[in-house]
Amino acid sequence: MINKILVVFGTRPEAIKMAPLVKELKKVQIFETKVCVTAQHREMLDQVLDFFNIIPDFDLNLMKRNQTLNELSSRILGQMDAVFSEFEPDLVLVHGDTTTSSCVALAAFHSGIKIGHVEAGLRTYNKFSPFPEEVNRQITSRLADFHFAPTERSKENLLSEKVSEKSVFVTGNTVIDALLWGVNNVDVNRKEIKEIKEFIDPSKKLIVVTGHRRENFGSKFNEFCLALKELSGRTDVQIIYPVHLNPNIKKVVYEKLSNIDNIKLMSPLEYEVFIWLLKESYLVITDSGGIQEEAPSLGVPVIVTRDTTERQEAIDSGNVILVGTDKTIILESTIKLLENIPFYKDMTSKKNPYGDGNSCQIIVDFLANLG
């Protein structure tokens, strides 16, 4: 019997995807649900917690400027014992592919606590793409007792790795639950949204851009910026780019793309503002994982600037185009969506392969019915 559940996350993407699950768990009286944040990200994490009205029961506050992955890992492992000792959970729920998820899962395993892995089974089978996420999620899969896979493909990946079928459950992705809740709760009168509205020209096609992958640092990111600069020369587009705070990204972007009329560079946007912007966009160019899942629910095509993706379902369904980081291919794919209207309309009409917003209910129902 599962009574005491500890939900642990540390980054903004994890918080977005776990927030609706926390809300759903807290509705069920048989569960005592508590939240622990490692704060692997700090400011961006706090913004999501505020939007979803979640107050952590445990806050490890581990973010430290320029810390290495090994430093972060050791600090997570070192501090989870005290949390487990105080709360004594029957189950720890972790999410996805972060350093938080793999290290917390290892700490729970060492303490003999059952582990549930939300968004389980995503794979590229290239340990450097994405780095370090691919290895993180494979480690978590080896440790987890319950695997909540978003799609049948994710389930098949786990089964091919000899994970017991009895422990794998296809749920859809909780990011859709978060998105649908979020879109209905956006405050359109926020100052940030009003400022963006002043920039947007409704006669132009709005392209929203994000980029943060470690494997794209260096020459690949230069190519990406050159493609955006060339796109900005078109009179029919506008580009809004919330720039990641990592100095490896921020320095290059502001050197290459500052003071261009058709490009608005911004600080990272709070989740509430970003999903409003996503809904307003014509298309998205990104190396993010979550946006590949979110945008199809809003009818927005996605161009993914990565060499591989663990979200093959969206490519197979036609919601996403995987282009890599070559400037020419990025430009060709973007221009096709800008100019080939039948092709664009076909992409926007595809069904989202990641679910319809009921993933959290499926997970909670399963946990409530465990003997």
Per annotation, catalytic residue among 192, 212, 234, 280: 212
Distances (CA, A) of 205 to 261, 271, 299: 14, 22, 14
| Helix runs in the chain, H state only | 12-25, 43-52, 69-87, 99-110, 133-143, 152-160, 174-183, 191-199, 219-231, 247-257, 271-280, 290-294, 312-317, 327-339, 341-348, 359-368
> Burial level of 217, CB count in 10 A (0-12/13-18/19+)?
middle
DSSP H helix total and E strand total for the chain: 16, 13
Per annotation, catalytic residue among 41, 117, 123, 133: 133
Per annotation, catalytic residue among 117, 244, 306, 311: 244
Per annotation, catalytic residue among 14, 24, 97, 294: 97
Measured between alpha carbons, how far is 12 from 19 in angstroms, rounded to an integer? 10
Per annotation, catalytic residue among 14, 24, 119, 177: 119
The CA-CA-CA angle for residues 347, 322, 290, to 5°, reads: 80
Residues sharing a CB contact under 8 Å with residue 98, sequence separation 6 or more, in sequence order: 9, 10, 11, 13, 14, 40, 133, 136
147 is catalytic: no
Decide: 263 and 228 in contact? Cβ < 8 Å. Answer: yes
Per annotation, catalytic residue among 214, 230, 234, 280: 214
Edge-to-edge order in the sheet of strand 320-322: 263-266, 237-242, 205-209, 283-286, 302-304, 320-322
119 is catalytic: yes
Backbone angles phi, psi at 9, to 5 degrees: -155, 170
117 is catalytic: no
Coil/strand/helix, residue 256: helix
The helix (H) or strand (E) run that includes residue 356 is none
Beta bridge partners of 169: 148
Decide: 150 and 359 in contact? Cβ < 8 Å. Answer: yes
> Burial level of 294, CB count in 10 A (0-12/13-18/19+)?
buried
133 is catalytic: yes
Tokens linked to 315: 């490519």
Decide: 213 and 306 in contact? Cβ < 8 Å. Answer: yes
What residues act catalytically? Answer: 97, 119, 133, 212, 214, 244
